[in-house]
Every structure is written in structure tokens, then in C-alpha cells.
Structure 1
Amino acid sequence: MIIIISGPPGSGKTSVASRLASQISFRFISAGSIFREIAKSMKLDIIDLNRLAETNFDIDKMVDNKIYEHIIKEKNLVIESHIAGWLFREYADIAVYLWASLKTRANRIAARDRISYDEAVSQIIKREYMHYRRFKKYYGIDINDLSVYDLVINTSYLTVDEIVKIILLYFSSVVSAKSDLLKKENTNDNVWPV
């Protein structure tokens, strides 16, 4: 099975996806880590690489291709990515979108990156604006349209473990429903219409 976890910066997607993958023994793939590796190799920070990606689609294609390689080669994945829910929905069994208020996300990023709250707000706004423009321009995707997601979770007041429990509850329901559907299809295949 493939589970996609998407969301804006600071929504908790990396923490949640990593913990979820660990709990269900799936491989964890992080688009954010891939993007950061590219930034490091080019001696750029995330904001500057996002700026460069606005005019150089090859950067996003590198990230997308690495994720796609995992999707076609591996079975049990949890993928963390801003855009995977839209790009790879047809391959995913479950797509989850995490979000939180700007204040919550800025506090999380400030603590994680050891920067001021104001700097975190500034980074979030810049990144989200760049993401919106870039994803619309290159993919034709409106990142405000969440209709491709099975679950949308406000992470503002929940712990990582609580969010993972919600996803696992949904996950087990999907697995059970698929199993029931397969049993029903196999039973119906053996019955001839009268």
C-alpha cells in the first residue's frame, strides 16, 4: 500500500509520515529531504532553491522522478511531499492532507530551525507563495483544492501520536473494506446469472 502525507510547511507532515511509516513498518520517502539534499549540493538554502525552481522546472522533476522510482519499485511506502497528493494520487491507497494555523506552523518552524517567530512567518509566506505559483505554472495544480485527499486533518491541537492514530484508524478501515470487496468480487465471479 502507498500512503501519501501532504501539507504546507510546519503542518507536521514529516514528523507524522515518519512516525506512521515506523509504526506500520513501511518505507518512509521524504520529498522535503530530497529537496534539501538538492539545495545542499547546490549550496543554496530552501528559499533560494524554491526561487530557482520557479524558473527551472528540472529541480521539481528531479524530486518527482525520485519519488516515482520508489512508487513503481516498492510496495509499502509512506510518502511525505507538498505535492504528491496531486501528482501521485492514482498510485496511492490513502492520501492525507495536514494543515495548521499560520501561528502554529510558525511556532513549530521557529523551534525546529532555531529562528525567530517573525522569520518563520516570513519563510512560510514566501515558500507558500512560491509553491502556489510554481505548482500552478508547471503542473496546472491549484494547491488550495484538497478534493484529491481522503483525509484532511487540522494538526494545530493534536500530538504526532494522536494524528497517527487517526490515520491508522482510517488505514485499517480502508484495508478492511478492500478485503471485504475482494471477497465479495470473488464470490460474485463464481455465480452465474439466472
Structure 2
Amino acid sequence: MIITIGGLAGSGTSTTSHILSEKTGIPLISAGDIFRRMAQERGMEILEFSKFAEGNNQIDQEIDQRQAKLAHEADDLIVEGRLSAYFVDADLKVWCTAPLDVRTERISQREKKPTLQAREEILTREASETQRYQEIHQIDIKNMDVYDIIINTHAFKADSVAQIILKVTEVIKCQQ
């Protein structure tokens, strides 16, 4: 089974994906992992590669293509990334969401930075990504039509979010 898990920064996609992978034994790839691999292939540090990617739309497109290729070659895979659902032919497409204040607090704690700074960075990043996704891929990231389920990760603990996804996969398998 191919599953994509997407969501905005701090919504719990990485945590959920890792728990789901551990529970199922299904391998996990993430857009972040691919990004780090691409930096390494080019002999660049992550921050250096991030700056390079800002002015190079081909980097975003290559990440999407690599995810789609890996998923196409696999029978079972969890693909974590904000745009994965748009480029991966998946059996289940999940979007994780959470209120801005919850996501801000999560990122503030994870990255050990002041809450106000984390919030400003989230809003800046989301505005930039919204514009880039529209320009590069003609994707409106706010349009949820591509997703099979949307889960408010603030309403559930991470383990419960993974359990919800597992239950949905059982339903899908019964319908096939």
C-alpha cells in the first residue's frame, strides 16, 4: 500500500509517518530526506543547498519526481511531504492539520526558539510556499480535494493519528 502524508510545518507529519512506519514495517521516505540526499550529492551543506534551491525551481521539481519514482517502484511505501499527494499515485492520501498556535508551540519547542519567532517564521514560510507551489506546479496548497482524509493532529496524540490511518487502510483493503 502506498500512503502519502502531508501537512503544514508543525502539523505532525514527520512524527505520524515515523510511528506509522514502525507499526506497519512499511518503509518511509520524506521530501526532507530526499532534499538532504540531493545536497549531499552536490557536495553542499543543507543551509547552502537551501539557499541554492530558493532560486532554482528545478530542485522542487526534482524532489517531486524522485518521490514519485520511488513510490512507483514500491509495493508498500509511506511518502511524507507537503506536495506528495499531488505527485505520488497513492492508495491513501492523508493531510495532517493543526491550529497555528499549536503548530507554533510545537516548532518553538522542537527548535528551541521563542514562540513569536517560530510563528513569524511559519507565516513567512507558508506565504512563500503558497506562492512557489502555485507558480511552479499550479497547485493551490489550501485546496484539500486531493486528500482522502484530513486529520486534526491537535485533537489526537501522534500514536492515535497513526491508528486512525491504519484503520482507514484496513477499510481500503476490504474494498479492493
Listed one character per residue, the Cα deviations across residues 19-46 of structure 1 (whole Å, up to 9, x for unaligned) are 1111111110011232345567533539
State, as a whole percentage, how many aligned pairs show the same letter.
Answer: 30
Partner AA of 2:45 in structure 1: K
Is the Cα contact below 8 Å between 2:4 and 2:78 reproduced in 1?
yes
The answer to whether structure 1 residue 115 and structure 2 residue 117 are counterparts is no
Task: Give the distance between the partners of 1:12 and 1:150, measured in 2 at CA.
Answer: 17
Q: How many residue pairs are counted as aligned between the two chains?
A: 174
Runs of 4+ aligned residues of structure 1 deviating over 4 Å after TM superposition are 36-41
Instruction: Tell me the distance in 1 between the aligned counterparts of 2:158 and 2:9.
Output: 15
CA distance in 2: counterparts of 1:72 and 1:171, whole angstroms: 19
Larger Rg: 1
Mapped contact 1:54–1:134 kept (Cα < 8 A):
no
The alignment status of 1:77 with 2:77, answered yes or no, reads yes
State the partner residue of 1:56.
Answer: 56
Q: Decide whether aligned partners of structure 1 residues 3 and 98 sit closer, same or farther in structure 2, where only a CA change above 3 A counts.
A: same
Unaligned runs of 5+ in 2: none
Q: Which amino acid aligns with 1:135?
A: Y
Partner of 1:181: none
CA distance in 1, matches of 2:164, 2:2: 17
SS at match of 1:45: helix
TM-score (norm: length of structure 2): 0.90
Please say if 1:35 is aligned against 2:25. no
Task: Work out whether residues 85 and 146 of structure 2, in 8 Å CA contact, stay in contact via their aligned partners in 1.
Answer: yes
- In the alignment, structure 1 segments of 5+ residues that lack a partner are 179-194
**1:151: how far off?**
0.2
Shift of 1:140: 0.4
Structure-1 separation of matches of 2:117 and 2:46: 18
Match runs of 1:119-158 below 5 Å: 119-158=117-156
